Amino acid sequence: MDDFEIEGGHRLSGEITTNCSKNGATHLFAAALVNKGRTTLHNIPRIEEVNRFLEIFHSLGIKTSWKGRHSITISPPARFSMKGIDLDAAGKIRSTLMLIGPLSARLRSFKLPHIGGCKMGERTIAAHRYALEDLGLKIVTRNNHYQISANGKPKRETVMYESSDTGTTNTILRAAVLPQKTIIDFAQQNYMVLEVCYFLEKLGVRIEGIGTKTLTVTGNPDIKTDIEYSNSEDPIEAMLFITAAIMTRSKLLIKRAPIDFLKVELLKLEKMGLKYRLSKPYLSENGRTKLVDITISPSKLKALSDKIHAQPYPGINTDNLPFFVPIATQAEGTTLIHDWMWEDRAIFFTELNRLGGQVRLADPHRVFVDGPSKLKGAQIVCPPALRPAVMLMVAMLGAEGVSTLRNVYAIKRGYENIVERLNKIGARIRLIK
């Protein structure tokens, strides 16, 4: 029930470094169970989402140990049992679903509790279900759990039912533990999926077509090796800092931004009038992800004539779309933002009106944002969804006066020490216990 008290209207300055990603960490945790040996993962953020995943691991008999601030070792048991699974922790994060793929090689039949995560309307598991059923699993939905059994003959090819990052990873992990070559078509190519592919390659799993929509995975159910791997940086956190600089009209250097997952966002912002400069690219510690340093300069923005909407990669990331709403409040003209992926998430965007924004809800998926608006401090209760919650936080940085953002657990799920890090570059945020 912690709150943030934010004194807005202050310029930011200096530099801030992008942390490694929440989504990459949770996908890698699931991928680590493909390995019967010890996995050491570096650059893992200390956030609530990771804490919930570790609680699930411990309840399954998986041993974990932090080595320093951001490195952790994962050692699976010789035999898995789902009887003691932490139902509370599993019910709070959607990424629990990705355990189905690797656990299917260790257990012929098991139960998995219904999953939670951000509350943004209906979120089905169809993309997971249909692909995993193609690969020999049967999934039956009960009142409070899924019953999973491995009693079918896996097909050699599956097509993803819809664009789903977690669904693609789950399917890759199932294919990785099958003693066959599996083709996955319409696979997503987003950063966390690539992270899993890079990790599995290092583990010895052969994957052809990484970065394309068609993957060919040559699985091995008996991998047992000690391995180390480094998680890469979070494009969504980099977008938060870009937005913070825009909202506060600041010059800010954002270091270690994964540019391949920000190019479309930056292009849209460039066409709106944003002035920025990129450094030469260099590699993340995983040796694969390209990073740049981004210098944002104060800019006068204008609304785009066409709508802004998310798309599966390489389009605007759905997690980055909410940041365009506060940005649009500072652009001259009217911006249409279409959040077609999630039921009801656009409703949270109208909370900016409490700060003085002019956000008109057209339907549960579309808002019109009129700008520029002079934002002023207000008290708002955090939405029960990570990205809309942090959208409000960053908008409050640009609002004159004092704002209070109540019950910020949703933000702490995905961002490590965000108050301290923003305060170091000139923000004035106080954590109220």
Classify residue 314 by its DSSP letter. T
14 and 102, same domain (yes or no): no
- Report the Cα 362 to chain-centroid distance in Å: 27
The confidence score (pLDDT) of residue 163 equals 93
The confidence score (pLDDT) of residue 169 equals 98
176 and 278, same domain (yes or no): no
Q: How confident is the model at residue 158 (pLDDT cuts 50, 70, 90)?
A: very high
379 and 248, same domain (yes or no): yes
pLDDT tens column, 284-319: 999 999 999 999 999 999 999 999 999 999 999 999
The confidence score (pLDDT) of residue 120 equals 41
d(CA 278, CA 289): 16
> Domain ends where: 195, 230, 265?
230
241 and 312, same domain (yes or no): yes
Q: How confident is the model at residue 69 (pLDDT cuts 50, 70, 90)?
A: very high
pLDDT tens column, 164-189: 999 999 999 999 999 999 999 999 99
Instruction: Print the domain residue range for 104.
Output: 22-230
246 and 167, same domain (yes or no): no
- For the segment 49-77, the average pLDDT, to the nearest whole number, is 96
Q: How confident is the model at residue 119 (pLDDT cuts 50, 70, 90)?
A: very low
> Domain ends where: 188, 210, 230?
230
Lowest mean pLDDT among 61-65, 125-129, 196-200: 125-129
pLDDT at position 117 over 70: no
- For the segment 81-109, the average pLDDT, to the nearest whole number, is 91
> Domain ends where: 230, 250, 269?
230
294 and 325, same domain (yes or no): yes
Instruction: Quickly list DSSP for 112-157.
Output: EEPP-----S----HHHHHHHHHTTEEEEE-SSEEEEEE-SPPPSE
CATH of residue 320: 3.65.10.10
214 and 266, same domain (yes or no): no
182 and 292, same domain (yes or no): no
- For the segment 69-74, the average pLDDT, to the nearest whole number, is 97
92 and 240, same domain (yes or no): no
The confidence score (pLDDT) of residue 332 equals 98
Q: Which residues, other chains included, contact 246 with Cβ-Cβ below 8 Å and sequence gap of 6+? A: 269, 274, 296, 299, 301, 327, 330
168 and 268, same domain (yes or no): no
On average, the pLDDT of the chain sits at 95
237 and 212, same domain (yes or no): no
100 and 69, same domain (yes or no): yes
What is the pTM (predicted TM-score) of this model? 0.95
Distances (CA, A) of 261 to 2, 20, 274, 312: 31, 13, 18, 11
pLDDT tens column, 385-431: 899 999 999 999 999 999 999 999 999 999 999 999 999 999 999 99
The confidence score (pLDDT) of residue 114 equals 81
d(CA 251, CA 271): 19
pLDDT at position 122 over 60: no
d(CA 389, CA 276): 26
pLDDT tens column, 239-260: 999 999 999 999 999 999 999 9
Q: Which residue has the higher pLDDT, 264 or 90?
A: 264
Nearest to 334 by CA among 315, 355, 357, 356: 357
User: How many domains does the chain contain in total?
Assistant: 2
- For the segment 36-53, the average pLDDT, to the nearest whole number, is 96
